Amino acid sequence: MTDALYLHIPFCAHLCAYCDFCKVLFDEKWAFSYVQALKDETASYGIGKVRTVYLGGGTPTALPDELFAEVLSLAAPHLRAGGEFTVEANPENLSEGKLRLMRRYGVNRLSLGVESASPRLLELMGRHHTFAEAQAAVARAKKAGFANLSCDLIYALPKETLAELQTDLEALLSLRVPHLSTYCLSVNPGTLFAREGRHEMEQSRAAGQYERILRTLRQAGYDRYEVSNFAWKGYESRHNLVYWHDEEYYGVGLGASGYVNGVRYENTRNLQKYLRHNWVASQETVRGASALEYYFLTNLRLERGFDLASFERKFGFSFFPRYQGVFAGLSGQGLLRKENGRVFCSDKGIMLLDRVLLALY
Minimal distance in Å, beta carbon 133 to ligand SF4? 14
Minimal distance in Å, beta carbon 36 to ligand SF4? 22
How far is 108 from 177, CA to CA, in rounded Å? Answer: 14
Q: Which is nearer to ligand SF4, 114 or 336 (CB)?
A: 114
Residues that bind ligand SF4 (CB under 6 A): 12, 15-16, 19, 21, 23, 57-59, 90, 113
Minimal distance in Å, beta carbon 57 to ligand SF4? 5
Q: Which is nearer to ligand SF4, 59 or 237 (CB)?
A: 59
Q: Which is nearer to ligand SF4, 184 or 356 (CB)?
A: 184
Q: Which is nearer to ligand SF4, 128 or 355 (CB)?
A: 128
Minimal distance in Å, beta carbon 19 to ligand SF4? 3
Q: Are strands 223-226 and 50-57 parallel, antiparallel or unpaired?
A: unpaired
Task: To the nearest 10°, report the CA torsion of 229, 230, 236, 238.
Answer: -10
Q: Which is nearer to ligand SF4, 16 or 134 (CB)?
A: 16
Three-state SS string over 133-145 comes to: HHHHHHHHHHHCC
Give residues with Cβ within 8 angstroms of 128, minimum separation 6.
13, 14, 90, 92
The amino acid that residue 259 corresponds to is Y
Q: Which is nearer to ligand SF4, 271 or 350 (CB)?
A: 271
The amino acid that residue 43 corresponds to is A
Q: Which is nearer to ligand SF4, 192 or 286 (CB)?
A: 192
Q: Which is nearer to ligand SF4, 130 or 310 (CB)?
A: 130
Q: Name which of 83, 106, 70 is nearest 4 in CA terms.
A: 83
Q: What are phi and psi of 152, to 5 degrees?
A: -95, 150
Minimal distance in Å, beta carbon 227 to ligand SF4? 20
How far is 347 from 336, CA to CA, in rounded Å? Answer: 9
Q: Which is nearer to ligand SF4, 12 or 300 (CB)?
A: 12
Cross-sheet strand order for the sheet of 263-267: 257-260, 263-267, 280-285
Minimal distance in Å, beta carbon 12 to ligand SF4? 3
Query: DSSP secondary structure string, 140-184?
Result: HHHHTT---EEEEEEES-TT--HHHHHHHHHHHHHT--SEEEEEE
Minimal distance in Å, beta carbon 89 to ligand SF4? 10
The amino acid that residue 30 corresponds to is W
Minimal distance in Å, beta carbon 344 to ligand SF4? 31
How far is 6 from 258, CA to CA, in rounded Å? Answer: 8
Minimal distance in Å, beta carbon 179 to ligand SF4? 18
Cβ contact 85:75 at 8 Å: yes
Give residues with Cβ within 8 angstroms of 134, minimum separation 6.
91, 112, 114, 117, 151, 175
